[in-house]
Amino acid sequence: MKTNNLRSIVKHFVASQQAEGVGATVRRSIGSMQMRRFSPFLMLDHFTVSPPAGFPDHPHHGQETITYVLGGMIAHEDFSGAKGILSPGDLQFMTAGKAIVHSEIPVKMDSGEPAVGLQLWVDLPQKLKNCEPRYRNLRSKETPVVRPSENLEVRVISGNSYGVESVRDLAYTPVHFYHYITSKEGTPFTQNFPRDFNAFMYVMKGSVAIGDQVFPQFSTVFFNNDGDAIAGVSATKDAEFALIGGEILDQDVVQHGPFVETDRERLLEVFKNYQYSINGFERARDWRSSIAEGISEEEAKKQLE
C-alpha 69: how far from chain center: 10
Give the Cα separation of 182 and 47 in Å (integer): 22
Pair 43, 28: CB distance under 8 Å = yes
Q: Is 104 annotated as a binding residue?
A: yes
Pair 229, 6: CB distance under 8 Å = yes
Q: Is 60 annotated as a binding residue?
A: yes
Pair 244, 156: CB distance under 8 Å = no
Q: Is 46 annotated as a binding residue?
A: no
Binding-site residue numbers are 58, 60, 102, 104
Q: Which residues are annotated as a binding site for Fe cation?
A: 58, 60, 102, 104
